[in-house]
Amino acid sequence: MSAHIQFFERDRAPVTELTQIVPALPPEINGLGDFALTLAQQLKQDWSLSTQFVVTNPNWVGNSQSGSPPSRRLAQRSAADFLAAVPDNRPLILNYEGYGYAQRGWPQWLYRALYRWRQRSPQPLLTIFHEVYPYHAKPPWTSSFWLSPLQRQLAAKLLRLSDHALTSKQSYATLLRRLAPDHSTPIGCLPIFSNVGEPKTLPPHGQRCRRLIVFGHPNSRRLAYQRDRPLLERTCQALAITEICDVGVPINLSRAPIAGVVPQVYGVLPAPALSALLLDAIAGFISFIAPDYLAKSGVFAAYAAHGLTPILSACQAEPADGLVPGHHYWLAGAADATLTTAEATAIARTAHTWYQSHCLPIYAQAIAVRLGFGTAETSCKTF
């Protein structure tokens, strides 16, 4: 009998609080931290569940303003510090991405800490696998090449230790099941939600400003303006774009016009301001993110939630996670790529419909049910 089944046989007192483990939180710019904070807010609103965060990065600097989420920071990444910070009378959510918890992506200390926590706590552990391990081929001179077997082993051990697991990609769920074929931990699959809002109503696509958004990681945006500049120009011409908005950590952006339009630099925006900007735009451009990774992209989720037409710089793609090229996004890099305003409107509508099946309230419900706070089922696929 596995350890976590033994723990579940103990009596658990009703609780209305839970703990989330994260590498960092805002004000640090970190997608995983934004995800965890947004989820906590929804769990509080819909399920009256309060969240305490445990931040594992010893160098994280918190926000002292009132209204900031309750959090504790580890002085060092160790099992002892973890056990001192994590209560044993609350359910636990681990937001897992190996490189967030260890420089080489192999946080063995985290597994040891969780194993000891499970020995003393009857509460459930839910692991959200934002990543599993870097399973794509790497050159032999990189650390990930040599550590990959250990990273795989650790992911399997974390899965076995968990009562439930969630991930954003069907391929991740399949991979996890292959890593631990002898174990029965339920693995749910839900694409991630938008960290910058989910408008209740959308203005018609045709009535929006002819605005295109370039949003995301600095590396992705550099690719958009440099490597993919011809594709960006093609997109702007096809949609008669009159305004290009660059949003994110500032980069050394050329002021040269793109299809006659000079990009406007907005920098890092608060979620409400970014949401308002997205809500009056018709398209969002994405470089770097491969089509089969869109289900785990916060940028794609933001575009879909706000009714934009997602534009990818990729040349080709296969359907994945319910997303079909030409129906949920446009491939600007395809040799025969043409896009009409009517097609862009239809793509925006289809992407938004796809998003509704895993929007933030549904995601929060999936979490609450798995932690034992509700019985309603969701559309979450289980492997």
The predicted structure's pLDDT at residue 67: 62
Percent of the chain residues past pLDDT 90, beyond the cut: 79
Beta strands in 104-235 (DSSP E): 125-129, 164-167, 187-189, 211-215
pLDDT at 4 over 60: no
Name the burial class of residue 2, with classes exposed (0-12), middle (13-18) and buried (19+) by CB atoms within 10 angstroms of its CB.
Answer: middle
Same domain, 366 and 345: no
What mean pLDDT do residues 322-335 have? 94
CATH number assigned to the domain comprising residue 347: 3.40.50.2000
Same domain, 270 and 367: no
Same domain, 272 and 370: no
The predicted structure's pLDDT at residue 139: 57
* Rounded Cα distance, 246 and 228, in Å: 15
What are residue 190's phi and psi, to 5 degrees? -140, 125
Same domain, 210 and 333: yes
- On whether residue 200 sits in a domain, the answer given is no
Average pLDDT over the chain, rounded to an integer: 90
Same domain, 155 and 274: no
- On whether residue 96 sits in a domain, the answer given is yes
- List the one residue out of 355, 249, 363, 241 whose CA is nearest residue 306: 355
- On whether residue 85 sits in a domain, the answer given is yes
303 in Cβ contact with 278 (< 8 Å): yes
CB atoms within 10 A of CB 11: 5
Give the pLDDT band (50/70/90) at residue 383.
low
Same domain, 289 and 351: yes
Q: For Cα atoms 237, 239, 242, give the angle at the middle one, nearest 5 degrees.
A: 75
pLDDT at 87 over 50: yes
Report residue 217 CA to chain centroid gap: 13
Give the pLDDT band (50/70/90) at residue 268.
very high
What mean pLDDT do residues 282-306 have? 96
250 in Cβ contact with 267 (< 8 Å): yes
Give the pLDDT band (50/70/90) at residue 255.
confident
Same domain, 62 and 178: yes
The predicted structure's pLDDT at residue 144: 59
286 in Cβ contact with 311 (< 8 Å): yes
Same domain, 259 and 243: yes
The whole domain housing 31 covers 3-193+359-382
What's the structural domain count of the chain?
2
